[in-house]
Amino acid sequence: MFKLLFALTAILTGIVAHEAAFANCCEGACYRVVDLEVGWRRDYINWKTKDLCSGYLSGNIDDKLFFKDINSYTISGHAKWLAEHYYIRTSAEYGLTDKGRAHEHFDFRNCNLCWPLNLHTSDPIKRRSEVYDFDGAIGYPFLFYKCHLCIIPLLGFSFHRQHLRVKESKDSSSCCDTPTNPCQFFQCHSSSSFFIDSCNDLRCDWCSNPFASESSSNIARNIGLINFHRTDTYRITWYGFYMGADMSYACDGNWTLYWNTEFHFLDSCHRKRKSFTGVFCVDDYHRTGGAYGFNNIVGFYGYIANNWYFTGSVDFNWWRAKSRHDEMVWKKVGAKLGLAYQF
């Protein structure tokens, strides 16, 4: 239900007074324009965590997770009202992913292991994972050069979410149920590689394999490892208030250029992970911390006829969230095309 409501919001919020009407605002009237766009975007998320299990396991974890080339197709709408003494705008966007990969470098150190255990994976992000965006702001318009240039300082609030599902390339549990070699488990995953030194007592004892099922090994339970293999889910939410500005320049009666910028200083980032590495404190990890970043959109409006406009834009986002033992960087680029109608 939430997905459907968000998609409908992205469409219905296309009731707007947009930059195309800025040049006419000198008359003191209020303008609205219907704006609906379709687009493409690519997201990158780099997430680093370490020392997550102090006080829980007698070991340390260093995990680097990189979501790369997350391509999504989006639908978005804008709602803006422009009058002589006030300006209000909202926007919403919903997208479904088409492709992408999750690269993970997982390092586990434990007193039961003679040498660190290292895991490297590269698995696809499932199609139809989702991205959401919502933005709302208020401001006061300042007009220059006979109303051709409009600058509007803004105070706003934004919400962004990536809900990603990662499916292992191959089900390692199926190929390790009855291994011919007790050590076969550590090589059977096609997209992963495990390394345990030969001096480790666990290396060739299948019953003591730290990645075996929980019922087959007390050692596995003691160091917090199990052997589930399912779809991993990651939900990352960025939200908070910002200061920014909307600027537009009406070149003539047919073309308007605009630039929207937002600066986020005291925002929050909530990251939640439900994965199946076998390390409990990693698999059920969630944390909220401070975040900061900026969003930029550059675009144009072109007049067609009878108050109809076509529009195009490109955008770039950069965000960073950092707290103790946890750091995340999110980058996004995108492009959109759409139609607008001015009331």
Domain annotation for the chain: domains and CATH numbers? 2-166+183-342 (2.40.128.90)
Question: How are beta strands 59-82 and 33-50 bridged, if at all?
Answer: antiparallel
| Whole-angstrom distance, CA of residue 276 vs CA of residue 228 | 6
Please tell me whether residue 253 adopts helix, strand or coil conformation. coil
Instruction: State the Cα–Cα distance between residues 259 and 264, nearest whole angstrom.
Output: 17
Percentage with pLDDT > 90 across the chain: 42
User: Region 285-314: what's the mean pLDDT?
Assistant: 92
Q: How confident is the model at residue 254 (pLDDT cuts 50, 70, 90)?
A: confident
How far is 26 from 64, CA to CA, in rounded Å?
A: 54
33 vs 13, higher pLDDT: 33
What is the rounded CA–CA span in Å between residue 227 and residue 209?
Answer: 10
Please state, in angstroms and rounded to a whole number, the distance separating the CA atoms of residues 172 and 200: 22
CA angle 215, 221, 222 (to 5 degrees): 150
- The stretches of 32-177 forming alpha helices (DSSP H) are 172-175
Q: Could you say which DSSP state residue 35 is in?
A: E
Look at residue 213 and tell me whether its pLDDT is greater than 50.
no
Asked whether the predicted pLDDT for residue 229 surpasses 50, the reply is yes
* pLDDT the model gives residue 53: 62
Predicted confidence band of residue 231 (pLDDT cuts 50, 70, 90): confident
Contacts of 27 (CB under 8 A, 6+ apart): none
Q: Is the pLDDT of residue 241 over 90?
A: yes
Q: What pLDDT band is residue 271 in, cutting at 50, 70 and 90?
A: very high
Which structure tokens are listed for 97? 């992913």
Cα 295 to Cα 315: distance, rounded to the nearest angstrom: 7
pLDDT per residue as tens digits for the range 38-76: 999 999 999 998 876 654 455 677 889 999 999 999 999
Q: Would you say residue 198 has pLDDT above 70?
A: no
CA dist 167 → 102, 118, 191, 237, 296 (Å)? 9, 20, 11, 21, 32
* Cα separation values, 161 from 83, 136, 239, Å: 32, 15, 9
Confidence of residue 86 (pLDDT cuts 50, 70, 90): confident
**Nearest-angstrom CA–CA distance, 340 and 9:** 17
Nearest of 315, 320, 307 to residue 33 by alpha carbon:
307
* Predicted pLDDT at 109: 72
pLDDT of 22 strictly over 90: no
Is the model's pLDDT at 243 over the cut of 80?
Answer: yes
What span, in angstroms and rounded, lies between the C-alpha atoms of 291 and 329? 10
Q: Is the confidence at residue 139, as pLDDT, over 50? A: yes
Higher-pLDDT residue of 194 and 89 is: 89
pTM: 0.77
Contact 276, 282 (CB under 8 A): no
pLDDT at residue 114 in the model: 62
CA–CA–CA angle 149, 154, 159 (5° rounding): 130
> What pLDDT score does 23 carry?
41
